[in-house]
Amino acid sequence: MSQHPPDAPSVASLGVLTTANGNPVDNNQTSMTAGEYGPVLLQDFHLIDKIAHFDRERIPERVVHAKGAGAHGYFEVTKDISHLTCAKFLNKVGKRTPVFTRFSTVGGELGSADTARDPRGFSVKFYTEEGNWDMVGNNTPIFFIRDPIKFPDFIHTQKRNPQTHLPDPTMVWDFWSLVPESLHQVTILMSDRGIPDGFRHMHGYSSHSLKLVKEDGSYVYVKWHFRTEQGIKNILPEDAERLAGSDPNYATRDLFGAIERGDFPAWKVYVQVIEPEQALKYRFNPFDVTKVVSQKDFPLQEVGRMVLNRNPENYFAEVEQAAFCPSHMVPGIAPSPDRMLQGRLFSYADTHRHRLGANYHQIPINRPISGVANQQRDGAMAINGNGGSAPNYEPNSFGGPSQTNVVAHTHARNFFARGEIARHSYEVTDDDFAQVNALYNLFTEEQKDRLARVIAGGLSQTPVFIQKRQLKHFYRADKDYGRRVESALKAAGSKI
């Protein structure tokens, strides 16, 4: 068979086809058999190797954020914030840092539609000179729950019913109705903001508060905001449903196509800065990820600009194997006591150890440009030389990498935890509904009606006792909100 069909465009040759061990392949069209009509032979290593590898091509998909797209680019500092942090990648206006950004839906599977009504993951890997910082966020500034112990339960409700193997609105609304602090995020999700028009036309947020740490170990809390320069655009439900059938990869195609034609998407990057004393006195707990911190109280301060200007060469190598972990920080950035963040510090890295292996950080897309030096050794797919002949223990007398003894840069000083070791429960109060009220009253009359219809579309499919329970939360947030949803439920055939 011709190596290059005569009717195909002229391209540079990639050389001779080989087996995995480098042996040139003489024939890739037919298997080796005992005679023309005989059985296929086990000695045909090329066949066995090819099929065996094919059988193992799929790795476990992410439990959450399975469907996504990504791109390379850069982050450039546009405003000096060196007075807030010792992070070197932020220490000079005009400084650029390479980034890789992955966008995703949250609850859907790898083959699900890009236009699902679902939050969107918004994660950025900064390849800094001091290691990788992963900003692992979403396109909303809040989340459904505020304690990590509820995360597996919540995600189960977004997946499939264990008996029917179908998406189940009863599971979804039963959980939300029993976790009232979810109403803020539910309102965003069911509003016109719930289905972004691709990945380019949405903001990104750290959602959690993080710390910026100075050289002396003092710190401030910040929330990160990535504001799209393309403008916010969303998709109406009927258009999203149509696209789910005609082009389920709509957002992936849009991002790749824009970059391919030189229309590079960009985001302005800001922080809200909160002094530790302000955090203690603020009306809303800044470490409760079901709440926002008002921009009126803590205005956005410009930091930089992110531009995505290069598509992946290989989706699996660069997007599917990209491992984002909130625990991946660099000097000058540290975690806050946000409970959900604290849970994610463990969970994300642990997921990648399961999904990609203990050496996931050695995969090129995850490898820090600053290099890695430690005593971690062995494990499946150790591909970086495995430390060579250097000592695999510390301390040692033979020049092995040693600690910096600079504690303050990463962990901050004068941060104290006091109190009884116990399971300290959150109490549902009017504060859990105040921000829902404020958000609801930003909507136009048309948007409020559409919100109510979208909610009723799913809620009306649940048992009446769940509808009544959830309706109380809408009324508690805003009486008009409750009335509209109740009216929409009845219009949808509910017996409430």
DSSP string, 192-257: GGGSBSTTTTS-EE--S-EEEE-TTS-EEEEEEEEEESS---B--HHHHHHHHHH-TTHHHHHHHH
Which residue reads 């399975």 in tokens?
Answer: 66
> Closest by alpha carbon to 477, among 457, 451, 446?
451
Distance CA 165, CA 139 (A): 28
Helix (H) or strand (E) holding 439: helix 431-440
Of 46, 72, 132, 138, the active-site residue reads: 138
Rg, the chain, Cα only: 26
Which residue reads 């990788």 in tokens?
Answer: 132
Of 46, 65, 361, 409, the active-site residue reads: 65
Distance CA 373, CA 251 (A): 39
Distance CA 95, CA 76 (A): 5
C-alpha 14: how far from chain center: 36
Helical H segments across 356-430, by residue range: 408-411
In the chain, the amino acid numbered 268 is: K
Which residue reads 């909130």 in tokens?
Answer: 326
CB within 8 A of 200, min separation 6: which ones?
A: 228, 230, 254, 255, 258, 265
Distance CA 21, CA 46 (A): 10
User: Per residue in 230-245, is it b (16+ CB within 10 Å) or e — as a string?
Assistant: beeeebebeebeebee
Distance CA 16, CA 9 (A): 19
Distance CA 215, CA 412 (A): 9
Annotated active-site residue 138? The verdict is yes
Distance CA 441, CA 445 (A): 9
User: In this structure, are strands 266-274 and 300-310 parallel, antiparallel, or unpaired?
Assistant: antiparallel
Q: Is 441 strand, coil or helix? A: coil
Distance CA 430, CA 415 (A): 29
User: In this structure, are strands 219-228 and 204-205 parallel, antiparallel, or unpaired?
Assistant: antiparallel
Name the token pair of 140.
């909303």
Which residue numbers are catalytic?
Answer: 65, 138
